Amino acid sequence: MKKHTYFKIGGPADIVAYPNNIVQVQELIKFCNENNIEFFVLGNGTNLLVRDKGIRGLVIKIDDNLNDIKVDENRIIAQAGAKVSRVAKEALKHSLTGLEGASGIPGSIGGGVTMNAGAYGTELKDVITNVKCVDEYGDIKDYNKDEMHFGYRHSRIHEKKLIVVEVEMVFKEGEYDKIKAAMDDYTQRRNSKQPIELPSAGSTFKRPEGDYAGRLIDVSGLRGIRYKDAQVSEKHCGFVVNRGNATCEDILNLIKVVQKTVKDKHGILLEREVLIVGEE
């Protein structure tokens, strides 16, 4: 699975399937139910840490195999495998505003919806109107924005075993030059402040109320601290990075050190944002 995650970490999966349409997603889920097989849905792997023993059962990969985007006036319908950055470019092409802040998010729209991804004061929920899912029985379910229970890095997808397959977004009309300038500014800020040159899963910790994980880690004296090839980024302390051959165990050990140190010094327990999956 290290080939399928931004962290470049993870043991083998038993089997991976690449559905090319929503019906195939339904068929895979029904097959798993009928044969008592566990399944895990994988998007672009940007916010994921897979354990060293890998993943048992079936991995359903929804990425470039399910990535159609349709634009209808100020409405965009994107399949779950479409990259957030690609959806943002489509919005720009049609002078639609609302996704500028999230334009640099590397993940898929399906994964982004699942965790209500966001950046620079915006979240995907700001433009979403409807989400089409396949439930744990293989049936299609549609949820409007209110029914998605969006919160900070949270959505209904976490509450039920749902698979995002298609997302409808509605935008406001804007000016192409202003939208592009905003996207360029956010891209420049991201490239200059985040350790995009090294494998990671983005922000390792959720933002604690009234503060920032990166700041707390920094003032706790943990900038650049290393456990084998796992390291707190020297460029941005909110990121744990893979310096080369870090294992999942290495990353988890470093995360525990960071959490304990920040808790001891500041009384705040940092909550992981990165999702951990696989056989323990």
271 and 178, same structural domain? Answer: no
Q: Is residue 200 part of a domain?
A: no
Q: Is 273 a catalytic residue?
A: yes
Element (H, E) at 49: strand 48-50
CA dihedral 192→196→198→199, nearest 10 degrees, is 160
Choose, from 100, 123, 166, 273, the residue flagged as catalytic: 273
The span from the CA of 4 to the CA of 157, in Å, is 21
Q: Is residue 197 part of a domain?
A: no
The span from the CA of 78 to the CA of 215, in Å, is 36
Nearest alpha-carbon partner for 137 in 15, 62, 17, 25: 25
Q: Is residue 201 part of a domain?
A: no
77-111: pLDDT as tens digits: 999 999 999 999 999 999 999 999 888 888 899 99
Nearest alpha-carbon partner for 62 in 76, 77, 83: 83
pTM for this entry? 0.90
156 and 86, same structural domain? Answer: yes
188 and 72, same structural domain? Answer: yes
Contacts of 96 (CB under 8 A, 6+ apart): 74, 76, 171, 172, 173, 174, 179
The span from the CA of 224 to the CA of 94, in Å, is 42
Q: Is residue 203 part of a domain?
A: no
Dihedral sign for Cα atoms in the order 103, 109, 112, 116: positive
82 and 181, same structural domain? Answer: yes
Domain hosting residue 270, numbered range: 213-277
155 and 243, same structural domain? Answer: no
121 and 167, same structural domain? Answer: yes
Choose, from 85, 155, 200, 203, the residue flagged as catalytic: 203
Residue that terminates a domain, selected from 157, 192, 227:
192
Residue that terminates a domain, selected from 64, 82, 112:
64
Choose, from 153, 168, 200, 233, the residue flagged as catalytic: 153
Q: Is residue 204 part of a domain?
A: no
Q: What pLDDT does residue 125 have?
A: 95
* 221 or 118, greater pLDDT: 221
Residue that terminates a domain, selected from 64, 89, 117:
64
187 and 99, same structural domain? Answer: yes
Provide the pLDDT confidence category of residue 74 given band limits of 50, 70 and 90.
very high
- Helix, strand, or coil (residue 92): helix
96 and 48, same structural domain? Answer: no
Q: Are 103 and 183 in contact (CB under 8 A)?
A: yes
Paired sense of beta strands 48-50 and 275-277, if any: parallel
- Helix, strand, or coil (residue 71): strand
CATH number, domain with residue 112: 3.30.465.10
252 and 241, same structural domain? Answer: yes
Record the tokens describing residue 92, joined without a space.
């720009």
182 and 77, same structural domain? Answer: yes
Q: Is residue 39 part of a domain?
A: yes
30-70: pLDDT as tens digits: 999 999 999 999 999 999 999 999 999 999 999 999 999 99
183 and 98, same structural domain? Answer: yes
Q: Is residue 28 part of a domain?
A: yes
Tally the domains of the chain. 3
CATH number, domain with residue 258: 3.90.78.10
246 and 179, same structural domain? Answer: no
- Helix, strand, or coil (residue 253): helix
Q: How far is residue 147 from each of residues 132, 158, 181, measured CA to CA in Å?
A: 12, 13, 34
Q: What pLDDT does residue 160 have?
A: 82
- Helix, strand, or coil (residue 112): helix
Q: Is 153 a catalytic residue?
A: yes
Q: Is residue 79 part of a domain?
A: yes
CATH number, domain with residue 52: 3.30.43.10
Q: What pLDDT does residue 84 have?
A: 94
